[in-house]
Structure 1
Amino acid sequence: MKKTLLLLCALASLSACVEIKDPNQETKNEPENVKPVVLQQRAELVVDKDIYFFEGDFLTKEEFIKMEREPSLAKDHTVQLDYLQIEKGAVLYTLGQNLRLEVKELSSNGKIETFPEGAQAPLDIEGRSGGIFYMIVDQGEGFLEITMRGQQGGNGSDGAEPDAALVGEPGKLIQCKGCSEVEVLKTWLGGKGKRGYPGADGKTGGSSGSLKFTIKSYDHFVMVPHKYGGRGGNKGRGNPRGGDPGPPAPVGLGYLQSNTRYPELYKTYDRYGGPGADGVDGKEGTVDNGVYDDKGQRLPI
């Protein structure tokens, strides 16, 4: 279900803060950094089209596609900007990286999102969390929409093609007096092929991640946060082919090949493998919206 929260600021002398907490992450008001932090300082950044934050760089969509991989999560990032402008229709994507964005002056009519809608992990890979996004703004103007979205889990792979392991047992010749013709044929026949390989389960979607947004001056500013857990991946399909039947016993082979009464005995395959289970959807974060003083204490209003 789509959940939105509108942050309307009413106290000009106080800082306002909104938080979305990932239930899978144990964090305080400001997450403790346990990974190396990369600090980047820039005078300004103008987002006039879709921009992707990638391991400290701001890439266009074309540049991001050329990377042909997802960003590493080995480091946390802090970016300090004197001025940030996000134009209408433009989106800044964080791609699930832990990012602290400090902005002195913000002018916005656009969006910040963790992942593009529909972004999915590779085959058989779990979806990434939206990560930890902490944005601190001194002065803001306009409208900003922030979407914490988990990445959809990867689809399960289809069942593998049948191989030697699925071939039926070879036929064996057993002396049998008084047996019926059908029983003798069954004795000489190879075993039927084994069940086809099943499809893999779809992978779990990533959680929405955690958001903390703080602004000091907001007389003409509105921020709207959203949160979505990533959808689970689709199940893989079972292979419709079972293994080949085992070879018949060498004795009686000529009779078996010319027999027309029971030709299906030698040609029987086992059933195909069943599909894997669908992936599990990721979890949504919880929302804490309030006004805080400069020491981070929530005010009872």
Structure 2
Amino acid sequence: MKTILKLTTGFAALVMLAGCVEFKDADDETPQAPEPMVEVQSMGNLVVDKNLYIWNGKIVTEEEMLSVESGKNKDFEFQFDELRLEENGVLYTMGNNVRIHANRFVSAKGRIATFPKNMKAQLGEEGRSGGHILLDLGVAVGGLTIEMRGESGGDGIPAKYPDFALKGPKGKDGRSERFCQRRRPEALLPFDYSGAEGLKGLPGYPGGDGKKGGATGTLEISIEDSSRFVHNVEKVPGVGGMGKPGGVGGDGGDGGNPTVDSRGQNCGGIRGLMGPRGDKGPDGKNGANGEVQTSCITKNKIMNCSN
């Protein structure tokens, strides 16, 4: 395999595969070509014997990743003389669009994965796609597992706590009287002077909908010599986030006031009771799972694509 010297060489393989691999936006059925890649980074030899992450154009450990600020660019391209993955070695692409060129590739049951298991977006955010992975290999030896995994969608945002806007209307006040008619108790009963019960509170606020899980991402593998190489591709779309329960209903309305005549005397009634609390708000819906996307494998100049 010839060393990649120019960016345009890396695009040649992509052009050949353009009729096979689909790059889809979440709401767009039209195949999309990825953004142009940045300059190829020559890495020499690399041994992956633990968890390593492609983060902002660097290959770092988890501890180092925490100290490297995430950049806006998500397209990275690397050239290796030899890339070796040991049995406990995992290279995570972290949802970036990553192209890896290696003159010699050796894997002792190593793994390349888009995301670690159980990666989940924050509340109210959709899961990230696995991005795009290109493995352009000369001689490949050993066994490799590739995990195309979408990030799980974030759970819905919790429902708002009931505020005054959900409080039920006040109950009707006791009947109006200029003078209390205490001398004619048979004319009006005490409840005629009492305030009515408050009305029921309004339903609670809705729980937030769970967000969609990320797609698996797309994969291309091109190998010149694969006679001593086997691989397995696992596709795990991101699971949709959970919807949150509906909120508590609003407080019931205040009871009506008892009758007080023009002289300020209570005519014998009582204040109405507070109304019942409103019903629970509607529950949020669970988010949809992500899509399973295309992978294309080229061995001995024969290409096979599948979803």
TM-score by length of 2: 0.75
Q: Relative to 1, partners in 2 of residues 1:106 and 1:192: Cα closer, same or farther, differing over 3 Å? A: same
Unaligned runs of 5+ in 2: 1-12, 178-186, 261-265
Structure 2 Cα separation of the partners of residues 89 and 47 of structure 1: 8
The one-letter amino acid of 1:167's match is K
Structure 2 Cα separation of the partners of residues 175 and 36 of structure 1: 80
The one-letter amino acid of 2:253's match is G
Does residue 245 of the first structure (1) align with residue 244 of the second (2)? no
**Aligned pairs (5 A) from 1:212-251:** 212-239=220-247, 241-251=248-258
Q: Which residue of 1 aligns with 2:182?
A: none
CA apart distance, 1:119: 0.8
Q: Relative to 1, partners in 2 of residues 1:246 and 1:218: Cα closer, same or farther, differing over 3 Å? A: same
Question: Any conservation in 2 of the 1:18–1:289 contact (CA below 8 Å)?
Answer: no
CA apart distance, 1:290: 5.2
Q: Relative to 1, partners in 2 of residues 1:289 and 1:79: Cα closer, same or farther, differing over 3 Å? A: closer
The one-letter amino acid of 1:50's match is N
Q: Give runs of ≥4 in structure 1 deviating > 6 Å.
A: 17-20, 176-184
Please list the CA deviations of residues 42-95 of structure 1 after superposition, one character each: whole Å capped at 9, or x if unmatched: 11222111111111011212233456x8x4554411111112111102211001
CA apart distance, 1:169: 2.2
Question: Any conservation in 1 of the 2:206–2:281 contact (CA below 8 Å)?
Answer: yes
Q: Which residue of 1 aligns with 2:53?
A: 52
Structure 1 Cα separation of the partners of residues 44 and 246 of structure 2: 55
Q: Relative to 1, partners in 2 of residues 1:273 and 1:124: Cα closer, same or farther, differing over 3 Å? A: same
**Aligned pairs (5 A) from 1:45-84:** 45-65=46-66, 71-72=70-71, 74-84=73-83
Please list the CA deviations of residues 113-144 of structure 1 after superposition, one character each: whole Å capped at 9, or x if unmatched: 00111111111100111101111011111111
Question: Any conservation in 2 of the 1:168–1:190 contact (CA below 8 Å)?
Answer: yes
Task: Report the number of matched residues.
Answer: 269
Q: Which residue of 2 aligns with 1:10?
A: none
Q: Which residue of 1 aligns with 2:184?
A: none
The one-letter amino acid of 2:46's match is L
Q: Relative to 1, partners in 2 of residues 1:125 and 1:35: Cα closer, same or farther, differing over 3 Å? A: farther
**Aligned pairs (5 A) from 1:48-197:** 48-65=49-66, 71-72=70-71, 74-109=73-108, 110-173=110-173, 175=175, 188-197=196-205
Please list the CA deviations of residues 136-170 of structure 1 after superposition, one character each: whole Å capped at 9, or x if unmatched: 01111111111111111001122111112212223
The one-letter amino acid of 2:139's match is Q
Q: Relative to 1, partners in 2 of residues 1:21 and 1:205: Cα closer, same or farther, differing over 3 Å? A: farther
CA apart distance, 1:190: 3.4
TM-score by length of 1: 0.76
The one-letter amino acid of 1:273's match is G
Greater Cα shift, 112-121 or 166-175:
166-175
Structure 2 Cα separation of the partners of residues 55 and 281 of structure 1: 27
The one-letter amino acid of 2:115's match is F
Question: Any conservation in 1 of the 2:156–2:211 contact (CA below 8 Å)?
Answer: yes
Question: Any conservation in 1 of the 2:243–2:286 contact (CA below 8 Å)?
Answer: yes
Larger radius of gyration: 2
> Match of 2:121, SS?
coil
Greater Cα shift, 278-287 or 133-142:
278-287
> Match of 2:156, SS?
coil
Percent of pairs identical after alignment? 33
CA apart distance, 1:248: 3.5
CA apart distance, 1:192: 2.6
Structure 1 Cα separation of the partners of residues 37 and 220 of structure 2: 20
The one-letter amino acid of 2:213's match is G
CA apart distance, 1:288: 4.4
Question: Any conservation in 2 of the 1:188–1:252 contact (CA below 8 Å)?
Answer: no
Question: Any conservation in 2 of the 1:115–1:149 contact (CA below 8 Å)?
Answer: yes
CA apart distance, 1:18: 10
Unaligned runs of 5+ in 1: 1-14, 260-264
Q: Relative to 1, partners in 2 of residues 1:238 and 1:63: Cα closer, same or farther, differing over 3 Å? A: farther
> Match of 1:266, SS?
coil
Counterpart selection for 2:279 from 271, 289, 293:
271
Question: Any conservation in 2 of the 1:22–1:209 contact (CA below 8 Å)?
Answer: no
CA apart distance, 1:213: 0.6
